[in-house]
Amino acid sequence: MKQPFVTKDQLVDIAERYPTPFHLYDEAGIRANARAVREAFSWNPGFREYFAVKANPNPTLVGILAEEGCGCDCSSLTELMIARLLGITGEKIMFSSNDTPAEDFRLARELGAIVNFDDISHIPFFEEVAGPVGPVASCRFNPGGLFRLANGIMDSPGDSKYGMTEEQLFEAYRMLVARGCATLGLHAFLASNTHGNEYYPALARILFELAVRLHEETGAHVGFVNLSGGVGIPYRPDDEPCDIRAIGEGVRRAYEEVLVPAGMDDVAIYTEMGRFMMGPYGCLVTLALHEKRIYKDYLGVDASAVDLIRPAMYGAYHHITVMGQAGGPDKSSWPASRTYDVTGNLCENNDKFAVDRALPEVERGDLLVIHDTGAHGYSMGYNYNGRLRSAEVLLREDGSTELIRRAETPSDYFATLDVTKGQSLRNIK
């Protein structure tokens, strides 16, 4: 059974201090997992995980990962600013953006980030708007067609907007070598939320073989191969979790079979995981507000898709545990005797955290935990219906809690209006 990282009594306590809904994060889980990742790739002296900041841009959480040795994978101006805020600069930033605005490139250069070029045309664009490319740069590869592993089609890179064709990649490498880049990297992201332990090793083999050819044909020194993100997590109770140690071993085998015989045994392995680093270590805590029985049974909670859009956007499964309430029984292991659609309050019928979900009997005031919201949860939030974004709370290793982002207030919602142009705004407060 999938269990939350807090007990019912702990959660009741926390919810007395911070009004629901809020995202709750587990520092101990984040640190233990980051250490397991580092350990799994410890055979590679240059290994670095660049945490994909878009998955969870809370500076406190990014800072915890930085303490565990992670860099930042940024893709926008404000994500770069978060890295800078934390004192993360230079080669500890991978700037993996696409359709990149000039000011983003300018800040990336100012911070000395490694720029991972998404397109060959971005190289002259970068030089025009930001100045010379630094001594280290990277290119993103898109092999086109379908990406298959032994167990079937994983994704269709041919339909994806990212990366360069193989021909462009060789040309881009020649351009960068001619500009004096001493160290070049190679990056690709071919499948998202993968299960099993085969994705990284298969991707690594493709990129390693390509790296050998790039080195031979362009004379470039390939300093790193960046496997990007895509390692999945067990959202469903019966999903098998990825084994990061087995994944690291699979990459090592490909390394020894492809790179070492080519004399390229100094290549560093980089990753840019987001979901795997943070997903399981966050949950959305929400309160049961209304039970509505019409043609189906609806359980209305005080969170909505503005706090977690994945179910509404992708039909994504997020497990839900009914915890209960202060003074009441611990329902977290109760049998599922009812079937509900669990809904938020947006005027939008896809605002459902779950459809036809078997759950224990819920009463008004019960706390619910929506699992695995640590990545692409808060960060994909928005303000539809004028709904305000929730707080974020960190459960520290010592069991204490800390508010690491307050909830929005109506003033935040109205803050971007130009008050000099509207008298009536005075009435808002």
Q: Which of 186, 375, 391, 395 binds ligand PLP (CB under 6 A)?
A: 375
Residue whose C-alpha is closest to residue 186's, from 90, 269, 70: 269
Residue 424, amino acid: S
**Residue 96 interacting with ligand PLP (CB under 6 A):** yes
What residues does 211 pair with on adjacent strands?
none
* Helix segments in 291-381, DSSP class H: 310-314
Q: Which of 6, 37, 53, 55 binds ligand PLP (CB under 6 A)?
A: 55
Half-sphere exposure of 252 (CA within 13 A, CB side): 15
Question: Cβ 237 to ligand PLP, closest distance in Å?
Answer: 21
Q: CB neighbours of 253 closer than 8 A, spacing ≥ 6?
A: 201
Q: How far apart are CA 190 and CA 114, in angstroms?
A: 21
Question: Cβ 228 to ligand PLP, closest distance in Å?
Answer: 4
**Residue 374 interacting with ligand PLP (CB under 6 A):** no
**Residue 229 interacting with ligand PLP (CB under 6 A):** yes
Contact 408, 389 (CB under 8 A): yes
What CA dihedral angle connects 100, 105, 106 and 107, to 10 degrees? 100
- Name the residue whose CB lies closest to ligand PLP: 229
Q: Which of 60, 168, 192, 385 binds ligand PLP (CB under 6 A)?
A: 192
Question: Cβ 73 to ligand PLP, closest distance in Å?
Answer: 5
Which range of residues in 9-17, 226-234, 290-298, 366-374 is near ligand PLP by CB under 6 A? 226-234
Phi-psi region of 428 (alpha: psi -120 to 50; beta: other; left: phi over 0): alpha
**Residue 377 interacting with ligand PLP (CB under 6 A):** no
**Residue 273 interacting with ligand PLP (CB under 6 A):** yes
Q: How far apart are CA 130 and CA 101, in angstroms?
A: 11
Tokens representing 110 are 């100012």
Q: Which of 6, 34, 37, 52 binds ligand PLP (CB under 6 A)?
A: 52
Which range of residues in 167-175, 210-218, 270-278, 359-367 is near ligand PLP by CB under 6 A? 270-278
**Residue 274 interacting with ligand PLP (CB under 6 A):** yes
**Residue 310 interacting with ligand PLP (CB under 6 A):** no
Q: Which of 49, 119, 272, 392 binds ligand PLP (CB under 6 A)?
A: 272
Contact 286, 352 (CB under 8 A): no
Which range of residues in 48-56, 61-69, 80-88, 149-157 is near ligand PLP by CB under 6 A? 48-56
Tell me 408's DSSP state.
Answer: P
Tokens representing 106 are 């300018």
Contact 287, 365 (CB under 8 A): yes
Residue whose CB is less far from ligand PLP, 44 or 226? 226
Annotation marks residue 139 as catalytic:
no
Residues annotated as part of the active site: 347
Enumerate binding residues for ligand PLP (CB under 6 A).
Answer: 52, 54-55, 73, 96, 189, 192, 228-231, 272-276, 375
